[in-house]
Amino acid sequence: MNHQDILKKLPYGKDFLFVDELLHVDENGAIGTCTYNKNLYFYDSHFKNLPVTPAVILTETMAQIGLVCLGLYLLKDDLDINKASLAMTSNSIDFLKPVYPGVSVKVTSEKIYFRFSKLSCNVKMEDETGNIICKGTISGMLISNPNEQ
């Protein structure tokens, strides 16, 4: 499975997709990028006079690149995205710097373990100059779609 195949299998619509490019993926981890477009819906309200990317969006970006892209790679052709998906089950993230509209970030994940349909990874997000924005651990698992049993 190549990088484009993985991106096509991501289960997100255009308004909630935070993966612009998948730079690397193998059995040990993934690296990808995202640029937070200045026109994203949440910047109007978070915060009114100083827009900042919400921590939940930073976490989601790390999960999409570091957990879901890696999980799709590890599952390869065994996953029918219409019948199952990967969902975050836990996270512990330290936020070190704010991310403003228009900033590009790079997410790197390193697999801790993958067993019993559960994947856990160390993740970090860096800005264009290599400064760490946030880092931590994210875990997720394979879940069945009840409508497709």
Is residue 138 a contact partner of residue 60, using CB atoms and an 8 Å limit? Answer: no
The tokens 């590009």 sit on which residue?
A: 104
Tell me 30's DSSP state: E
| 46 is known as an active-site residue | yes
Q: Which residues pair with 86 in a beta bridge?
A: 142
Q: Residue 89 phi/psi, 5° resolution?
A: -110, -25
Residue reference for tokens 């800005």: 127
The SS3 assignment for 142 reads strand
Cβ–Cβ < 8 Å for 76, 1: yes
- Are the CB atoms for 73 and 26 separated by under 8 Å? yes
72 in Cβ contact with 6 (< 8 Å): yes
Single out the catalytic residue among 11, 35, 40, 46.
46
Residues acting as catalytic residues: 46
